[in-house]
Chains A and B, each alone.
Chain A
């Protein structure tokens, strides 16, 4: 086990908010997810603390854990879509999610190894995992067009939420330059996945 060098448990309020948003997005309908995510990733300002003295809302070890968990969760859903998807578009999308999120995780693991950081479980990563598991359970019970629709709806909501979290929480709070650079490099992948999922969603019929 690698030693944890970056640990800061001071502020978990924002984390909990993001975790809730991502977990909710995974289970709710798409039309509600964007609003929920937008509200959750922008925690209410703490008017009692001067901005200059504010501690990071989340530390690098926690960010690393969120990155790895978020990728693993979507990769697992992709494996299922590749297997159970009814349309070629959904199967292909699932396959690409497995490849891409696997690629991101490879980079993330290489980075935390280089930095000698152990990803630190936190409310967000735990809820990402439980939300992902709930989504998989739900998808397991669906077939055909129902599966395709539920999977793609979740992918749209999930990637939108992750994108918001990257922009509003993860990149702004990352302290290590290499970790920040990784997040910046990951962002276009999440945006591309979101665009792809939306495009498939727009062609789906109920």
Chain B
């Protein structure tokens, strides 16, 4: 392959990569605020690869624990955060293991 042709091919690959990058939104961070012994929003829909940040604004510790036990924040202290990236599409039900009446859902598209 001649040099100009090789350069053109490489440029095309980069261009395709750039287009692909443009069509897939960059991962985002979403916040679930723990407030007054509830998850807000109670249900959050995100894209695969997005990050969920739980922010505990209560004065007692809480947790975000998957009902199927696949992930668990452990105790999130007052005014602390915990980050998690759900990798599997679908509905992820979770609750606070310290206060089991608190429940939430993450929907991964």
User: Which residues of B have CB within 8 Å of A104?
Assistant: 59-60
Contact yes or no, A188 B38, CB < 8 A:
yes
**Shortest beta-carbon distance from B35 to chain A in Å:** 9
Contact yes or no, A196 B60, CB < 8 A:
no
Given A103-B78, A192-B37, the answer on whether A185 and B59 have CB atoms closer than 8 Å is: yes
A5 at the interface (CB under 8 A from B): no
Contact yes or no, B102 A192, CB < 8 A:
yes
B69 at the interface (CB under 8 A from A): no
Contact yes or no, B37 A96, CB < 8 A:
no
Q: Looking at the complex, which of B22-30, B84-92, B93-101 is the stretch in contact with chain A?
A: B93-101
Contact yes or no, A106 B59, CB < 8 A:
yes
CA distance A195 to B37 in the complex (A): 12
Bitwise interface map of A from 31 to 49 toward B, beta carbon under 8 Å scored 1, else 0: 0000000000000000000
Contact of B99 among A96, A107, A185 (CB under 8 A): A96
B49 at the interface (CB under 8 A from A): no
User: Which residues of A have CB within 8 Å of B36?
Assistant: 185, 188
CA distance A103 to B76 in the complex (A): 14
Q: Which of A99-114 contact B (CB under 8 A)?
A: 99-100, 103-104, 106-107
User: Which residues of A have CB within 8 Å of B59?
Assistant: 103-104, 106-107, 185
The total of chain A residues at the interface (CB under 8 A) is 15
Contact yes or no, A196 B61, CB < 8 A:
no
CA distance A112 to B76 in the complex (A): 26
User: Interface range on chain B: under 10, 10 to 19, 20 to 34, or 35 or more?
Assistant: 10 to 19
User: Which residues of A have CB within 8 Å of B99?
Assistant: 96, 192, 196
Bitwise interface map of A from 74 to 107 toward B, beta carbon under 8 Å scored 1, else 0: 0000000000000000000000100110011011
User: Which residues of B have CB within 8 Å of A27?
Assistant: none
Q: What are 26 pairs between A and B in contact, CB < 8 Å?
A: A96-B98, A96-B99, A99-B61, A100-B60, A103-B60, A103-B61, A103-B78, A104-B59, A107-B59, A185-B36, A185-B58, A185-B59, A188-B37, A188-B38, A189-B37, A189-B58, A189-B60, A192-B37, A192-B99, A192-B101, A192-B102, A195-B101, A196-B100, A196-B101, A199-B100, A199-B101
Bitwise interface map of A from 176 to 206 toward B, beta carbon under 8 Å scored 1, else 0: 0000000001001101100110010000000
**Shortest beta-carbon distance from B95 to chain A in Å:** 12
Contact yes or no, A99 B78, CB < 8 A:
no
CA distance A205 to B99 in the complex (A): 22
Apart from A188-B38, A192-B99, 9 more pairs, CB < 8 Å: A96-B99, A99-B98, A103-B60, A103-B61, A106-B59, A189-B58, A191-B37, A196-B100, A199-B101
What are the nearest 9 A-B pairs in CB distance?
Answer: A188-B36, A103-B60, A192-B37, A188-B37, A100-B60, A195-B101, A103-B59, A107-B59, A192-B99
CA distance A96 to B58 in the complex (A): 14
